[in-house]
Chains A and B, each alone.
Chain A
Amino acid sequence: MDTKMKNMLRGLGAALSSVITKILIPMYIFRSILQDATLMMIDLGYTEAKVDTIIFWIVAMGSITASLSFTKASSPKYSPRKAIFEIILVIANAFYLYLYKFSGALDIAVSMDLGIAITTFYLSFENMVYISMGVIGLNMIIGLYDLIISYAAPIEEDL
């Protein structure tokens, strides 16, 4: 198999996994939450409009991250362009994560109807988002390091 084909296959694999994990699975989960809302004893406070907003951002940012995953994965190993696209992908991932919070997916008001009593409580994932953002920030630093290495001390390895 020639290098072009290998690159394309690597890229396609990465894009496909990104589409499945970042668009299809979240979309299915949010749609099923909405469909099962009437059947469940626990109400998570998701309305049709709220789920539509969440799905809009999932599809919008998910498609961008999937295409960036293709571009990054199809680049040759240790090349400067791989490092550049890695940084852009990390930034896109940060936007994807932020828009999850922004769209209201993580503002969950749980209402439970237990028959004799109805209880409501709020779940806040604020700190979890901050830590995830911090990890993304660290990934960005690693991406920058890769970029510097690819220019300053290129790895001479036969690929």
Chain B
Amino acid sequence: MITMILQTLQDTISKILAVIEYILPTILWSMGVILAFVLPLGIFLKNILGALVSHFPGPETGLLWVYFIVAGIFLALGIFLATKYPERKIQL
């Protein structure tokens, strides 16, 4: 009886270990990719954006309309292109 229970326990543990063995490299790889590539890329981008954002008009200037004008330009451009050149055959 005890031998059977121990056998079942061993089977279950070995199954769990097999799953872990299968998953662990994927987790470690993704962690490695994040640490080696994504994180430095993020820090690099953040530094660039930090330098650029300091030139943006902030809330103290009350220049919210500047952003609306930029948004409006992109929207107008989108509407123009969508109606004037709806097909991809024209290379634009």
B42 pairs with A129, CB closer than 8 A: yes
Q: Which A residues from 1 to 54 make CB contacts under 8 A with B?
A: 2-4, 6-8, 11, 15, 52-53
Q: Which residues of B sit under 8 angstroms from A147, Cβ to Cβ?
A: none
Q: Would you call B50 and A67 a contact (CB within 8 A)?
A: no
CA distance A56 to B68 in the complex (A): 12
A31 to chain B, nearest CB (A): 16
Q: In the bound complex, what is the Cα–Cα distance between A71 and B50 (angstroms)?
A: 26
Determine chain A's interface SS by DSSP, over half rule. Answer: helix
Q: How large is the interface on A (under 10, 10 to 19, 20 to 34, 35 or more residues)?
A: 35 or more
Name B29-73 residues within 8 Å CB distance of A.
34, 37-46, 49-50, 52-53, 56, 58-59, 64, 67-68, 70-72
Tell me the A residues contacting B by CB distance below 8 Å: 2-4, 6-8, 11, 15, 52-53, 56-57, 59-61, 63-64, 66-68, 70-72, 74-81, 85, 94-95, 98-99, 102, 127, 129-138, 159
Known contacts: A66-B71, A133-B41. The answer to whether A74 contacts B92 by CB under 8 A is: no
* Nearest CB in chain A: distance from B39 CB, A: 6
Among B50, B74, B75, contact of A98 (Cβ-Cβ < 8 Å): B50
**CA–CA, A131 and B40, complex, Å:** 9
CB-based closest 8 A-B pairs = A71-B78, A134-B38, A134-B42, A133-B42, A130-B42, A60-B67, A74-B82, A56-B59
Interface pair A11/B78, CB less than 8 Å apart? yes
Can you pick out 8 interface pairs between chain A and chain B where the beta carbons lie within 8 Å of each other? Answer: A11-B78, A11-B79, A64-B74, A67-B71, A76-B86, A76-B88, A98-B46, A133-B46
Number of A-B contacts (CB under 8 A): 123
Q: B21 at interface (Cβ–Cβ under 8 A)?
A: no
Closest to B54 in A: A102
Docked Cα-Cα span, A3 to B34, in Å, equals 41
Given A71-B75, A71-B77, do A4 and B46 touch, yes or no (CB 8 Å)?
Answer: no
Residue of B nearest to A68 (CB): B74
